[in-house]
């Protein structure tokens, strides 16, 4: 049995929970779900996914590996203040109202116990129970490497929340090349970001500005936010984003983050209506920052 342990440290707040959404916790099923996502988007077939992760359809098959959470050293988190006009609202808004249907009220996650704060450390252990063919082992190893270097867990992971640095495998640009070979589109934006506020403002500005530049509007209909189908996802019909914003660190001891933007192959993750010409990985970049707000940055 092959056993590997990794230490992960949160770079942005993580909204990951079980049945009680007001109590954030790191959960093995959330990590397994992310590993499945990476495996599929990297081109793994359904048969190979079943061989590695197991399945219950037809004749049940056990997973080739298990995941354990060994320890969690939580850091506190205080919900930030923002308005609907702030760029960072594109990051925070859905986290703030998740779990409530009453207009104007905050959801159970939007509390100090609802998220694990920046600097939270947790250790995970991957135990491989049985050997795989060399081809499958290579694909699983790539899946794990991409998750450790570019992954996130919990709510709004597409918008940079729940991001972490792995102490054993911090970010390397070589991984972006491997993603490109699997038909991802990637951009590295090296401008340093030194706080969660800066990360949220930068990502929110890019989401807002790029949506506007491409005519991918968000309209209010019957008190619901309805967005034009696009690679950035929609709420109705439900379509997750193919574009991911990810703060990364090249070393665990670094005090600043860089921003990676990657887009999964649209045919693997998007419905037909949401497939549009890619804005990621173009030269010059087609990611557009929104016009800066006239309001001063929040003090927190």
- Among residues 158, 115, 171, the alpha carbon closest in space to that of 270 is found at 158
Q: What is the pLDDT of residue 292?
A: 77
Entry pTM: 0.92
Out of 97-101, 113-117, 143-147, which region has the weakest mean confidence (pLDDT)? 97-101
pLDDT tens per residue across span 27-80 = 999 999 999 999 999 999 999 999 999 987 767 788 999 999 999 999 999 999
Determine contact, residues 117/74, Cβ cutoff 8 Å. Answer: yes
The percent of residues above 70 in pLDDT, for the chain, comes to 94
* pLDDT interval class at 152 (50, 70, 90): very high
pLDDT tens per residue across span 215-269 = 998 765 445 566 788 999 887 778 899 999 999 999 999 999 999 999 999 999 9
Residue 191: partners with Cβ closer than 8 Å, 6 or more residues away:
202, 258, 259
Q: What is the pLDDT of residue 274?
A: 93
Q: What is the pLDDT of residue 221?
A: 44
Domain ranges within the chain, ordered by starting residue: 2-274
Other Cβ atoms less than 10 A from the Cβ of 141: the count is: 11
Give the pair of three-digit tokens for residue 157.
């992971």
The percent of residues above 90 in pLDDT, for the chain, comes to 82
* pLDDT interval class at 300 (50, 70, 90): very low
Determine contact, residues 164/31, Cβ cutoff 8 Å. Answer: no
Determine contact, residues 148/166, Cβ cutoff 8 Å. Answer: yes
Out of 57-61, 99-103, 274-278, which region has the weakest mean confidence (pLDDT)? 57-61
pLDDT tens per residue across span 10-20 = 999 999 998 89
Q: What is the pLDDT of residue 222?
A: 47
Q: What is the pLDDT of residue 55?
A: 83
Residue 297, pLDDT above cutoff 90 = no
**Residues 281, 290: Cα–Cα separation, whole Å:** 19
* pLDDT interval class at 179 (50, 70, 90): very high
Q: What is the pLDDT of residue 226?
A: 65
**Residues 227, 243: Cα–Cα separation, whole Å:** 15
The angle, 0 to 180 degrees and rounded to 10, between the axes of the packed helices 196-214 and 89-97 is 100
Query: Which residue has tokens 């990590």?
Result: 31
Determine contact, residues 126/145, Cβ cutoff 8 Å. Answer: no
**How large is the average pLDDT for residues 121-136?**
95
157-167 burial, b at 16+ Cβ within 10 Å, e below that, comes to bbbbbbbbbbb
Residue 164 pairs with which residues in a beta bridge? 10
């Amino acid at each position: 049995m092959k056993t590997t342990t990794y230490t992960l440290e949160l770079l942005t707040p993580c909204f990951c929970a079980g049945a009680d959404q007001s109590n954030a916790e790191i959960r093995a099923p959330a990590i397994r779900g992310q590993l499945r996502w990476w495996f599929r988007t990297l081109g793994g077939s359904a048969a190979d996914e079943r061989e590695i992760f197991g399945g219950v359809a037809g004749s049940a098959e056990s997973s080739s590996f298990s995941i354990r959470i060994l320890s969690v050293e939580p850091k506190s988190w205080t919900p930030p203040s923002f308005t609907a006009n702030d760029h960072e609202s594109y990051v925070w808004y859905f986290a703030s109202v998740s779990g409530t249907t009453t207009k104007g009220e905050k959801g159970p996650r939007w509390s100090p116990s609802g998220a694990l704060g920046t600097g939270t450390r947790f250790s995970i252990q991957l135990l491989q129970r049985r050997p795989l063919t060399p081809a499958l082992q290579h694909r699983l190893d790539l899946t794990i490497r991409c998750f450790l270097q570019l992954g996130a867990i919990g709510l709004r992971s597409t918008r940079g929340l729940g991001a972490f640095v792995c102490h054993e495998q911090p970010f390397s640009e070589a991984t972006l090349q491997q993603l490109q070979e699997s038909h991802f589109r990637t951009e590295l934006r090296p401008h340093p970001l030194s706080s969660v506020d800066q990360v949220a403002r930068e990502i929110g500005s890019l989401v807002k500005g790029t949506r506007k530049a491409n005519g991918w509007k968000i309209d209010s209909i019957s008190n619901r936010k309805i967005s034009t189908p696009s690679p950035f996802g929609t709420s109705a019909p439900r379509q997750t984003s193919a574009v991911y914003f990810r703060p990364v660190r090249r070393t665990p001891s670094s005090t600043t983050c860089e921003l990676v933007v990657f887009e999964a192959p649209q045919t693997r993750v998007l419905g037909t209506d949401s497939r549009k010409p890619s804005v990621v990985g173009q030269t010059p970049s087609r990611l557009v920052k929104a016009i800066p707000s006239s309001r001063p940055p929040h003090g927190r």
